[in-house]
A and B are shown apart, each in its own frame.
Chain A
């Protein structure tokens, strides 16, 4: 096993940042990924890990990643909702790990949804 000492170091470096985050709860962006049988079979697991990876790389403090069940549009999985504070949710469909860095950079960081990946663009095409 990678050493528990390493985990202890992670704890220390994380703790200070958590305190900052708690003070400002209204500021949180939520990323919600469909993780039911349909989502998993369509490839949601690598998508989720890509989001974690990208968030860590960019040291984004106010972003949480969570999982949800099947929302009934299995043919559009993997689906990801991005909810910026105070804004309407944006739903991305047929998400692949390669699309994640762009969603994070353009939408989560810069506030401009990647229109071509959204449910509106795909469904009306």
Chain B
């Protein structure tokens, strides 16, 4: 992965597959350059036994093959910066994944194109779950949710090319002033 935003795209697929109704994404950059990414869903969750071994590349829910690299790759890139990945989950309640990155580390990936990632996520599952994203940094904060625009769109799918483009462009405009410093 070349961007933190690509990890997000990958991790969120798991929330969607877990049958979540809501997926809430957060990016917080504090004044010591620590970036905290959170993905919270209310999907099926994982048992404590599965959480204990989910960090292994040789554990996966898929049946086609015995490797699953989503979480291991995220962990590798977080840990390279001195950060970490934390997974809290409860069956029936949902999962919270928290990844931290020290963005002042030479090994830290750029945040990347968060707006494109969100557009891709929403396109991939336009009807449900509802996604929200909140970004904050010492420079300001923003938030966005699909629920909010769904009411405006009334019956028009969020996967319509024009709508996807609107989402991408408006997120880009809003995120840039807040997290622009770590995007590239």
Partners in one complex: yes
Contact partners of A66 in chain B: CB under 8 A: 124
Contact partners of A7 in chain B: CB under 8 A: 149, 152-153, 163, 166
Q: Is the CB of B153 within 8 A of A2?
A: no
**Scoring A residues 51 to 64 as 1 if CB is less than 8 Å from chain B, else 0, what string do you get?**
01101100000001
Interface of B is mostly: helix
Q: Which of B45-88 contact A (CB under 8 A)?
A: 62, 64-65, 68-70, 73
A56 to B68 CA separation, bound complex (whole angstroms): 35
Q: A11-B156, A40-B10, A70-B62 are in contact. Are A2 and B166 (CB under 8 A)?
A: yes
Q: Which of B5-24 contact A (CB under 8 A)?
A: 6, 9-10, 13
Q: Is the CB of B170 within 8 A of A52?
A: no
Q: Is B174 close to A, CB under 8 A?
A: yes
Contact of A37 among B69, B144, B149 (CB under 8 A): B69
Q: Which of B102-122 contact A (CB under 8 A)?
A: 113, 116-117, 119-120
A44 to B171 CA separation, bound complex (whole angstroms): 20
Q: Smallest CB–CB gap between A97 and chain B, Å? A: 11
Interface-central residue, B65, B142, B152, by most chain A CB under 10 Å: B152
Q: How large is the interface on A (under 10, 10 to 19, 20 to 34, 35 or more residues)?
A: 20 to 34
Q: Is the CB of A65 within 8 A of B123?
A: yes
A49 to B122 CA separation, bound complex (whole angstroms): 12
**Scoring B residues 167 to 184 as 1 if CB is less than 8 Å from chain A, else 0, what string do you get?**
011100110000000000
Q: Smallest CB–CB gap between B38 and chain A, Å? A: 19
Q: Is B31 close to A, CB under 8 A?
A: no
A36 to B67 CA separation, bound complex (whole angstroms): 12
Q: Is the CB of B64 within 8 A of A70?
A: yes
Q: Which of B134-174 contact A (CB under 8 A)?
A: 142, 144, 149, 152-157, 159-166, 168-170, 173-174
Q: Is the CB of A2 within 8 A of B62?
A: no
A8 to B159 CA separation, bound complex (whole angstroms): 15
Q: Smallest CB–CB gap between A73 and chain B, Å? A: 11
Q: Which of A38-56 contact B (CB under 8 A)?
A: 38, 40-41, 45-46, 48-49, 52-53, 55-56
Interface residues of A (CB under 8 A from B): 1-2, 4, 6-8, 10-11, 13-15, 18, 35-38, 40-41, 45-46, 48-49, 52-53, 55-56, 64-67, 69-70, 72
Interface residues of B (CB under 8 A from A): 1, 6, 9-10, 13, 62, 64-65, 68-70, 73, 113, 116-117, 119-120, 123-124, 142, 144, 149, 152-157, 159-166, 168-170, 173-174
